[in-house]
Amino acid sequence: MGKGYAVYLNVAKIFDLFKLLMLKIELKLSFDTEDEAKGYILGFVDKIKVIEPKELHDKILKKAESVVAFYKHEK
């Protein structure tokens, strides 16, 4: 196993009941690599949000913006 990569997530939107009740759940997940963390998080699209580490939050945001730009320029 690698050094590990801890990520704190806000998963308030993961269940409709939580959304309806405006509940938030914070989890700490561990990944072996940053790429593994990014792939997992991006798989949830808009259902979870990275709180920490800030660097990963910024990388997820940049990747999401690049996906939107790609689809906007599709012909």
Cα(54)–Cα(17) distance, integer angstroms: 28
Cα(19)–Cα(31) distance, integer angstroms: 26
Q: In what order do the strands lie in the sheet with 26-31?
A: 26-31, 5-10, 49-52
Cα(42)–Cα(57) distance, integer angstroms: 11
* pLDDT value for 1: 46
Question: What type of residue is 52?
Answer: E
33 by DSSP, 3-state: which? coil
* pLDDT value for 21: 61
pTM: 0.64
Per-residue pLDDT of the chain (75 residues; tens, 9 = 90+): 455 656 666 555 555 555 556 667 777 888 899 999 999 889 888 878 888 889 999 999 999 999 899 999 876
